Each structure stands twice: as C-alpha cells, then as structure tokens.
Amino acid sequence: MGDNMKTIGVLFASISLSVLLAGCITVSQYRFSFNFDAGEAKREYYDIRSKQGGDEKDYSIANDWAELKQLIAEQKPEFDPDVVKDISKELFEENNLLCARKIQKVICPKCFPSKAAIMAYLHDKDWRFELMNDEVVLFLPSGKKIVSTNGQKVTTLNNSMIFWPQKSSNFEYVVTEQNSGGTSLLPNYLEEKNLKK
C-alpha cells in the first residue's frame, strides 16, 4: 500500500461516474481500461468537484466532501466478490486536481458469454454495451464526450459510440462530462491529509 493511501487513511470504494454525477459531486474526466487477458479493470476520475444541484437547498462544499468520504468508505454490494474483486482504491492529487483511482480484478473473464457482457457488468446501466456483428459497442450516456479511445469512435449530433472488434483484449476510453463544473474538493482533501500527518 503506497504512502499516499496510508496518509489519507481512506480507500476509494465503488464510486461510479453516474453515482458521482447523480448528486452534487462531479468529475470533468473519466478514464476506463479493461485488459481481458489479465482480467484487470481500471477507473480513473479527474478533477472531482462540488456543484450545487438545481433544487438543492442545503448545499455546502463541506456536505459534498462528507458525502464523497461516505461514498469512499462504503462497500457497495454492486459486484459479487466471487466475480469482481477490488485490488486497490485511492484518492490522490494530480496537477493540482483531486482525482481517484480504482483497480478491480474480474476473477474469470472467460466465464462471461461475451466481452460486451463483461463491460456491461463493470458499468452502470446507463452505459450500454452490446455485441453486434462481432464488435463490442459502447453507447455512451448523453452529455459525455469521447476524448480518446483505442476503439473506433462514431459521434453524431445526439449520440456517441465506440466500437471494438470482439477479438480485442484491451478496451480503453476517456470521456469528459459536459456539465461538470463547481468548486474543487482538493482543498478539503489536502486539509484532511495534513491533519493525518
């Protein structure tokens, strides 16, 4: 376990992009990679921020920091530990931004009926994966913009999709959230980190 993880004393649990974006916590960029041969899935969240919701009356940055810490501490039951196991979780600072990383291991990738099924299992339901004509297809949720991918991206006025050949072993993409913004939670992270020293 790295010093950064020991210093914060908090592990990054199952925070999915949609969970972050559902409340008042946003991220400007989300990176995902999955290596089929190793069974390793990595998620990275960049620039974690607090943003007031439209009808939120009790908004405060302190409340959002507390909510983020609660999300980090929770052990979510969304993944069966016999299917997907957490390897590491952490909050960290990079380029003056608060970021998070989570690495998981899919115990038996070949037990899934397709690579699209694995990808769907690893994502929230609004991230739609399908196997079509020997290609794994990701239909991105609205509001997400593809920054990069090792697949082939197709973007229209209203939709974004990524295609990978079914035989691919590595699936990678980076997306941005068009509605991110707000106040960085980095000062809260640094304050807590300094208190634990």
Q: What are 75-104's pLDDT values in tens digits? A: 556 667 788 888 888 889 999 999 999 899
Could you tell me the two tokens for 30? 């989300």
Could you tell me the two tokens for 69? 């810490």
Sorting pLDDT into bands at 50, 70 and 90, what band is 58? confident
What's the pLDDT score for residue 12?
Answer: 35
What's the pLDDT score for residue 75?
Answer: 55
Could you tell me the two tokens for 98? 């608060």
What's the pLDDT score for residue 10?
Answer: 30
Mean pLDDT (the chain) is 83
| Higher pLDDT, residue 53 or 125 | 125
Sorting pLDDT into bands at 50, 70 and 90, what band is 14? very low
Sorting pLDDT into bands at 50, 70 and 90, what band is 3? very low
Question: Is the pLDDT at 172 greater than 90, yes or no?
Answer: yes
State how beta strands 25-35 and 40-50 pair: antiparallel
- Distance CA(118)–CA(138), nearest Å, equals 12
Rg (CA), the chain: 17
What's the pLDDT score for residue 26?
Answer: 86
- Distance CA(175)–CA(179), nearest Å, equals 12
Question: Is the pLDDT at 22 greater than 50, yes or no?
Answer: no
Check residue 33 and give left, alpha or beta (phi > 0: left; psi -120 to 50: alpha). Answer: beta
pTM of the model: 0.81
What's the pLDDT score for residue 13?
Answer: 33
Q: What is the mean pLDDT of residues 55-68?
A: 80
| Higher pLDDT, residue 140 or 182 | 140
Cβ-in-10-Å burial (0-12, 13-18, 19+) of 125 comes to: exposed
Q: For residues 136 and 36, is the Cβ–Cβ distance under 8 A?
A: no
Question: Is the pLDDT at 9 greater than 60, yes or no?
Answer: no
Sorting pLDDT into bands at 50, 70 and 90, what band is 126? confident
Q: What is the mean pLDDT of residues 11-40?
A: 70
- Tell me the one-letter amino acid at 179: N
Residue 144, Cβ neighbours under 10 Å: how many? 19
Q: For residues 151 and 168, is the Cβ–Cβ distance under 8 A?
A: yes
Provide the residue ranges of all domains of the chain, joining segments of one domain with +: 3-109+169-195
